[in-house]
Amino acid sequence: MQENQTEQNLDTETRIRQQIAENPVLLYMKGSPKLPSCGFSAQASQALMACGKPFAYVDILQNPDIRAELPKIANWPTFPQLWVNGELIGGCDIILEMFQQGELQPLIAEASPEVDEKESN
């Protein structure tokens, strides 16, 4: 029984690492951007949507295994969690602060898959 639990955790960790690797901008949140299930997730997704670029999200309420494992992997206990280019940016407070300081927008624009080829230097 102990082995199965470890195996399942490994699968979940592999899935999480794959999601982070495949999505340049990824928000782990409660609910969805259009229907958030907590105030912090709502504020975080609104700030991201205001950046005007597409982003991926994972509803941790629909994925209890990810909800349990991600804080251990990220070494970050709470949700939402914003990941950009494989790096944990932070939670709601950090996201909002960066947005208000004008630091989130260029970060998201740079990481977003919709890069305009003509603008490359």
3 occurs within a structural domain = no
Q: Is 34 annotated as a binding residue?
A: no
Q: Check whether 92 is labelled as a binding-site residue.
A: yes
What are the structure tokens assigned to 96, written together? 């909002």
Is residue 38 annotated as involved in ligand binding? yes
For residue 17, being part of any structural domain is answered with no
Strands 87-90 and 81-84: antiparallel
Residue 30 assigned to a binding site: yes
Asked if residue 51 belongs to a known ligand binding site, the reply is no
Coil vs helix vs strand at 31: strand
pLDDT by residue (tens digit) across 55-84? Answer: 999 999 999 999 999 999 999 999 999 999
Tens digits of residue pLDDT in 105-119: 999 999 986 544 444
d(CA 4, CA 12): 12
What pTM, to 2 d.p., does this model score? Answer: 0.87
Q: Which CATH number do you get for residue 79?
A: 3.40.30.10
Flag whether 9 is in a domain. no
